[in-house]
Amino acid sequence: MEKTFEKLKNELKNKNIRLSHQRLKVLEYMSTHKTHPTVDMIYNDLQKEVPTLSKTTIYNTLDTLKNAGLVKVVTIEDNEVRYDSRTHEHGHFKCVSCEEIFDFDIKFDSFATKGLDNFKINNKDVYFKGICPDCSTKQ
Amino acid sequence: MEKTFEKLKNELKNKNIRLSHQRLKVLEYMSTHKTHPTVDMIYNDLQKEVPTLSKTTIYNTLDTLKNAGLVKVVTIEDNEVRYDSRTHEHGHFKCVSCEEIFDFDIKFDSFATKGLDNFKINNKDVYFKGICPDCSTKQ
DNA sequence: TTTCTAAGTTGTAATCATTACAAGTTAATT
DNA sequence: AATTAACTTGTAATGATTACAACTTAGAAA
């Protein structure tokens, strides 16, 4: 069940976050591009529509959206930060060949963990790396 | 079953990686400090023993050790990279209050995943965030 | 042991992502 | 339409990581 741009817009309104032109553009971009983009990808794409857009604004906006729970940060590699607007629980798989990031379903409750009694868990991330089917057959 | 420094040293030898003084110092540090240190922490601590040590060497060495499978990179936050010499399968929990990273046992096979048929998985990372028991009681 | 050399180390400089900041602009309330 | 706190922008500062060239060394060979 994906959230539409309109729904996301309402969520911002409800949280008293101003609906600036730039913010809405970034939000719309995130809701239509499920590619786990980097700041640079967002910047390069959106600049075509909004030439005055600043990269600082994208950083600020993503931070705002992150705090509002509308986007998630994906740190699957140590040298790039990606953003994800799918906020339901799922895992991330990065193909080390084509660099694409795939979402996959995962039941966090199914984890058999030991040694976390009395730990308050607020956030769970599951990152896999390997080769995607397309890249496997190409080799 | 933790690997001793001697065992790690042999693993380097077997992989034809030269046993330079600096490399052995970093390796020894990693095998005795299970704190998931950053490059800076390693640098600051080791400089006391090896004053001429360069930060570049630490980056190079950690990269070598990573490729040799003797250390793992932990990217639980988007603004710091940590290193781990425990290479058996386990998860990482970061306390957002005291910033400490805890290891926990987890059976990767217990994951119920959907949508990863035909994906070759080479690497799995599980990152949790929250509050550790000590910080919970202090509040 | 001594010699030799490919590989490793070092310090400096370059790069790249992110953040700080001050001046100008705007959403949205009155 | 006026007001103002919040937002945006461009530039500059910061901080982590990488590139590179000169120097040093581990370890093989003689």
Distance from CA of A11 to the nearest CA of B (A): 25
In the 32-91 segment of chain B, residues within 7 Å (Cβ) of strand C are 50, 52-54, 56-57, 60-61, 64, 78-79
Q: Which two tokens stand for residue A129?
A: 């790396």
Q: What is the pLDDT of residue A74?
A: 98
Q: What is the pLDDT of residue B138?
A: 85
Q: What is the pLDDT of residues A27-78, one digit of tens each?
A: 999 999 999 999 999 999 999 999 999 999 999 999 999 999 999 999 999 9
Helices A55-67 and A21-32 pack at an angle, to 10 degrees, of 70
pLDDT bracket for residue A113 (50, 70, 90) = confident
Q: Is the CB of B19 under 7 A from strand D?
A: yes
Q: Which two tokens stand for residue A117?
A: 């009694």
Q: What is the pLDDT of residue A80?
A: 96
Cβ distance A80 to A97 under 8 Å? no
* d(C-alpha A127, C-alpha B126), whole Å: 6
Q: What is the pLDDT of residue A7?
A: 84
* d(C-alpha B62, C-alpha B70), whole Å: 9
Closest CA to A92 of B74, B124, B72: B124
pLDDT per 10-residue tile (average), chain B, 139 residues:
78 95 97 96 97 98 97 97 94 96 90 88 95 93
Would you state the torsion angle of the CA atoms of residues A9, A10, A12, A14, taken in this order, to the nearest 10 degrees? 170
Cβ of residue B139 closer than 8 Å to a chain A Cβ: no
Find how far residue A37's CA is from the centre of its chain: 7
pLDDT bracket for residue A1 (50, 70, 90) = low
